Structure 1
Amino acid sequence: MTFTRTLAMIAVAAICTFATRLAPFLLFNGKKPIPPIIRYLGETLPPAVIALLVVYCVKNVSWSAAPHGLPELLCIAVTALLHVWKRNNLLSIGVGTVLYMFLVQTVFL
């Protein structure tokens, strides 16, 4: 891949990222109320996406073979409890990830 092509790809990615971040401010600039459907989607989509990610993370777990999904279930519970307690996405996801890596690399070999 040429240097020019690489720069073009980076520029397109940067422009698309900037456009998607700018679009809500242009569409909903505060002068008129946010449509109810947009508010509904803003409230319901984040939990739905998290639920989808949890299902995706445990889809290949072998429930019939040892350790029977124990590290996954334990880390999901720790992540959920930590999030309910602290309400900090970065903290709960980070601790859950580090705990999972620790468990599968040291405890559940």
Structure 2
Amino acid sequence: MSAFEMVVMIAAGALATQLTRWLPFLAFPTVEKTPKVITYLGKVLPACMWGLLIVYCFRTSDPLTGWHMAPELIAAGVVVALHVWKKNMSLSMIGGTVVYMLLIRTVFV
């Protein structure tokens, strides 16, 4: 890849990132009230993302082989426990990921 192509790709990435940051403010100026559908999506999408992450995490797990999904289930339990305890989505996901990676790299090799 040439230097020009790298610069173009970096510029395209930066433009796309900035566009996603500015577009909501351009689409919904402060003078107008936010549409109800956007408010609704803001309430339901976090739960939908949790469901999507659960499906993604367990999609390749096979309960009939090996450790019967033990690392996945233990890590999922850690995520739930952390979220109930601290109510912090980032901490829950990071904690579950760390526990899962430690389990598959050390205990369930």
TM-score (norm 2): 0.92
Q: Please say if 1:17 is aligned against 2:7.
A: no
Q: CA-to-partner distance for each residue in 1:58-81, whole Å, 9 max, x for gaps?
A: 111110012101110111121122
Q: CA-to-partner distance for each residue in 1:45-100, whole Å, 9 max, x for gaps?
A: 12112211111111111100121011101111211221122122222111111111
Displacement after TM superposition at 1:11 (Å):
0.3
Aligned to 2:55: 55
Aligned to 1:30: 30
Q: Describe how 1:1-109 pairs up with structure 2 within 5 A.
A: 1-109=1-109
4+ residue runs over 2 A deviation: none
- Give the alignment's Cα RMSD to 1 decimal: 1.2
1 CA distance for matches of 2:21 and 2:60? 34
Q: CA-to-partner distance for each residue in 1:9-50, whole Å, 9 max, x for gaps?
A: 110110111011111111222211111111111111121122
| Amino acid paired to 2:107 | V
SS in 2 for 1:17: helix
* Identical columns (%): 42
| Amino acid paired to 1:19 | L
TM-score (norm 1): 0.92
